[in-house]
Amino acid sequence: MKIISQNTAFGGMQGVFSHESDACKCEMTFAVFVPPQAIEEPRPVLWYLSGLTCTHANVMEKGEYRRLAAELGLIIVCPDVSPRGNDVPDELTNWQMGKGAGFYLDATEKPWAENYQMYTYITQELPKLISEQFRVDMARQGIFGHSMGGHGAMTIALKSPDRFKSCSAFAPIVEPSTADWSAPAYEKYLGADKAQWRQYDACALVADGARFPEFLIDQGKADGFLENGLRPWLFEEAVKGTDIALTLRMHERYDHSYYFISTFMDDHLRWHAERLG
């Protein structure tokens, strides 16, 4: 693991690191905020997954999480959203595919399958590295994210309910297999058999029996992607009749930006802290 930068903030440490990924077969960069309490004891870890076109840096620079994370004693891990590098396949004119658009799945189709193994990276490889290098309590993990990252957080939580104690999302893509900005990527990454897409689709996972105790979703009503890409009402409908508790908050005038995310970041951190103990 290489140290790219380390800065003191609110008594803790905001770091940026990189390492050679076996899953993605390239160098991957990630950010970690370590609160001051970690000097004395292992602390809960909260994974934040970013959205399309982002890197680890977007939430680190705009998310405004450090003050309250330091107060609550939460370690925040912010991975990149896709593999990177000159040898990694990409579609240069398509922001919804390739670099910056990994969708937190394991691709099965060429040429993507060689590098785009983000599900394995997020759920196996990076957690192992974090547990070895930082003072984290891996028995207390939560996960959240924005847009494509909200999709990733929800699907990963639904598939790993024994690992995560909490999950929330800002403006998630709840049914990516039918959304305009994700279905074409799913076909390229996973092939034409839509049955294979269901394992990376929150609504489909619930329909197929996956369960997680509760979700918090915040969504702006002025979000330009709301009608065609995000559609949180589909997840609201999916969990009806199940034992999944959903808190869906729709906010007037808020859009898809980090102005929206930073406004409700404290709410999400407190939500997770209550459940992580």
Q: Cα 127 vs. chain centroid, distance in angstroms?
A: 13
Beta partners for residue 18, in sequence order:
2, 29
Please, are residues 186 and 176 in contact by the beta-carbon 8 Å criterion? yes
Burial tier of 271 (Cβ tally within 10 Å: 0-12, 13-18, 19+) = buried
The reply to whether 268 belongs to the active site is no
The reply to whether 147 belongs to the active site is yes
From 147, 166, 177, 182, the catalytic residue: 147
From 168, 177, 223, 272, the catalytic residue: 223
The DSSP result for 85-144, as a single string, is STTS---TT-TTSBTTB-TTSB--STTGGGT-BHHHIIIIIHHHHHHHHS-EEEEEEEEE
| DSSP three-state, residue 46 | strand
Please state the length of the chain.
277
| DSSP three-state, residue 62 | helix
Please, are residues 276 and 140 in contact by the beta-carbon 8 Å criterion? yes
The reply to whether 256 belongs to the active site is yes
From 56, 256, 268, 272, the catalytic residue: 256
Active site residues: 147, 223, 256
